[in-house]
Each structure stands twice: as C-alpha cells, then as structure tokens.
C-alpha cells in the first residue's frame, strides 16, 4: 500500500503545474468561445428567433452540430433532416464520454452536469494532461470558460444580426461555414482524415443540386466508411505483395 501511494505521489509530481493547465484551458476556451458570434449571426440569419438561437447554445452546446443544423435550415432543408445531420455530428461526443469517464472518475452526482461539457475542446485538453488532477482541472476550466463565453457571444451575435436586418446583404451568411472550416482544418492531421474530408466535400457539393436540402450532408457521412474500406483493401494488397 505504501509503495502504491509513493508511486501515485510521484506520478502527481510529474504532472504540469495547475497554473499552466488553467492557462492552456483558458486559451482554448476563450479562442473557441469567441466563435459563438458567428453562430449567433448565422442562426439569426437562417430564420431562428433569438430564444431558439440561445436555447441551441445552452442545451446542445456543440458547435459543429449547431452550425450544421442552422446551415441546413438556411438552405431550405426540413427540420428533420437538419436535426439528423446535427445528431450524427454529435455522436462523436459519446465516444469522448466513454474515455473521459475512465480518466476523470467523477462522482455520480457530478456526471450529468459534466456530460454537457463533453465536446472536442474539453476532451482534447483533458486527455493531454499526464495526471488525473490535471485532466479534471483542464476539463472543468475549458468547459466553464467555453460554455459561458460561447453562450454570451451567441446572444451578442444574434442581437447584432437582428439589428443589421438582412445578414446576407452583409455577406455574413458565410461566417458559419468559415468558422466551421477553421475548427475542422487543424483536426485533419493524417492522410486518411484529409481523404475523408475531401470525399465528403465532393459528395456534399455534387449532390446539392439533385437532392433535397439537408440530405447531401447525410450522404456525405458515407465518406468515412468508403475511405476506410479503400485503405483496408490497399493495405491488404500490400501485405499480399510482401508474401
């Protein structure tokens, strides 16, 4: 028991100082939280009311899904297809939750509230920490700062859009897609990920003129299994050639 405690203490000592974890977490929270302006403007421009826009940020709180939803609605898609596209994008958060539940080991009373903050940014900061304490601090600070700032800037963006009137006349209808691409680009690190993104773009844009609004987004999701299947075939052929 004493040896185990000593090992745990040694592991804690090797972790980053709390101040550095807080600094990094705040940097992520503030940088991403400011993009709520773009969502507020885009959502208001797509026809959603101020209350609906703010409710999305308060209750959904996952930028990619929110942008996908209002983007599909703005393109004339039905609420059902728009919600389906947003849902599929948000499924990844469930996998983050499985990993974070083992890492953070929060109490049962806290888990339902922490689940609201399980998104790309909080998962990235928490998983980057070498200790459980650092992961908890990183998750909490990133989640709190991002949630507060995202909702505040969503409100300000929606109010600004209402004051300006027609957001399309100002060219602000491109704000949502631009922010979405800015969030996505740093995540495409491998050739496979870039291939999936490229094929998804081709499918989405190619089918846009022939399918109802919102449906091309759902079809574009097929890019992932297609690319993975092609990679598996290629790797299998290479292994066969080496024999």
DSSP string, 94-152: HHHHHHHHHHH---TTTHHHHHTT-SHHHHHHHHT-SSHHHHHHHHHHHHHHHHHHHHH
Within a domain: 223: yes
- In DSSP notation, 61-80 reads --HHHHHHHHHHHHTT--HH
pLDDT of residue 182: 66
Q: Rg for the chain (alpha carbons), in Å?
A: 21
Q: Of the residues 142, 166, 187, which one is the last residue of a structural domain?
A: 187
pLDDT of residue 236: 77
Within a domain: 4: no
d(CA 133, CA 165): 48
Within a domain: 225: yes
Within a domain: 74: yes
Cβ pair 214, 75 in contact under 8 A? yes
* Polymer length in residues for the chain: 243
Within a domain: 210: yes
d(CA 23, CA 4): 31
Indicate whether 156 and 223 sit together in one domain: no
Indicate whether 44 and 85 sit together in one domain: yes
pLDDT of residue 174: 61
pLDDT of residue 214: 66
Indicate whether 171 and 196 sit together in one domain: no
Indicate whether 131 and 22 sit together in one domain: yes
Indicate whether 146 and 224 sit together in one domain: no
**pLDDT tens digits for range 147-188:** 999 999 999 999 988 777 665 656 555 655 666 676 667 768
Within a domain: 3: no
Within a domain: 8: no
Which parts of the chain register pLDDT below 70?
Answer: 1-15, 165-180, 182-184, 187, 213-214, 243
pLDDT of residue 34: 87
Residue 159, CB-side half-sphere exposure with 13 Å CA sphere: 6
pLDDT of residue 2: 47
pLDDT of residue 1: 47
Indicate whether 183 and 193 sit together in one domain: no
Number of neighbours of residue 181 by Cβ within 10 angstroms = 10
Range of the domain at 43: 14-187
Indicate whether 198 and 113 sit together in one domain: no
Domain count along the chain = 2
Indicate whether 30 and 141 sit together in one domain: yes
Indicate whether 48 and 137 sit together in one domain: yes
d(CA 14, CA 203): 47
What DSSP character marks residue 189? -
Indicate whether 160 and 211 sit together in one domain: no
Within a domain: 56: yes
Indicate whether 134 and 165 sit together in one domain: yes
Among 161, 219, 231, 235, smallest CA distance to 193 is for 231
């Amino acid at each position: 028991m004493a040896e185990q405690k000593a090992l745990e203490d040694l592991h804690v000592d090797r972790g980053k100082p709390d101040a550095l974890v807080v600094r990094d977490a705040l940097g992520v929270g503030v940088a991403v939280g400011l993009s709520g302006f773009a969502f507020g403007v885009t959502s208001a421009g797509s026809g959603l009311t101020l209350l609906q826009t703010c409710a999305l940020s308060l209750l959904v709180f996952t930028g990619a899904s929110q942008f996908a939803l209002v983007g599909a609605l703005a393109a004339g898609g039905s609420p059902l297809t728009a919600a389906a596209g947003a849902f599929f994008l948000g499924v990844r958060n469930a996998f983050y939750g499985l990993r974070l539940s083992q890492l953070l080991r929060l109490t049962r009373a806290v888990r339902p509230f922490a689940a609201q903050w399980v998104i790309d940014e909080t998962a990235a900061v928490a998983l980057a920490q070498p200790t459980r304490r650092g992961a908890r601090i990183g998750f909490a600070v990133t989640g709190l700062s991002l949630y507060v700032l995202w909702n505040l800037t969503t409100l300000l963006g929606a109010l600004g859009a209402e004051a300006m009137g027609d957001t399309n006349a100002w060219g602000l209808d491109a704000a949502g897609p631009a922010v979405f691409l800015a969030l996505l680009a740093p995540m495409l690190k491998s050739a496979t990920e870039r291939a999936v993104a490229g094929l998804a773009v081709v499918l989405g844009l190619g089918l846009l003129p022939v399918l109802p609004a919102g449906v091309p987004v759902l079809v574009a999701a097929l890019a992932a299994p297609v690319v993975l299947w092609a990679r598996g075939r290629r790797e299998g052929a290479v292994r066969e050639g080496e024999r």
